[in-house]
Structure 1
């Protein structure tokens, strides 16, 4: 019997697929923005720096959006609770 905190195999697969989609999106975005010279086997220092900056910027932005969304959800939940309490208590 699975614990309530454990994810089902289907949920784990969905989470993994979402991770891979985000990874592929990030890889494609940074590749298209930073890699322009295909005459050498290795990255130029400028391309390497660009890809690192791109990745860091994407991850920071994603983290910030997630944080703001969480804050918005907390405020919305607090407002719903306050509204429910207000409508439950006649004045």
Structure 2
């Protein structure tokens, strides 16, 4: 989570809080889906595999959603530029 020099301290704190919220949601979701045996202090191999798969799927999904959002934004910007050019108001 690299902060740009233009980010204010408040922006950095908000970004960090957002990160923590997402991290906690992921942790809770994977824990609830994968951990079922509380009779041991250690993770069983199936639980460990499940949690790793859960995290990997979440990260891949998050990356894909971000990629699609970026693609959508590029198309929307191109459409806005084309519309502005058609209306004779290039901006």
Asked if TM exceeds 0.5, the reply is yes
Structure with the greater relative contact order (CA < 8 A, sep ≥ 6): 1 or 2? Answer: 1
TM-score w.r.t. structure 2 length? 0.91
Q: After TM superposition, what 4+ stretches of structure 1 lie above 6 angstroms from structure 2?
A: none
TM-score w.r.t. structure 1 length? 0.91
How many residues matched? 86
* Alpha-carbon distance between aligned partners in 2 of 1:5 and 1:11, rounded to the nearest angstrom: 11
**Gaps spanning 5+ residues in structure 2: where?**
none
Shift of 1:5: 4.1
Give SS of 1:38's match. coil
Bigger Rg, structure 1 or 2: 1
The equivalences for 1:1-91 within 5 A come to 5-88=5-88
Give SS of 2:42's match. coil
**Gaps spanning 5+ residues in structure 1: where?**
none
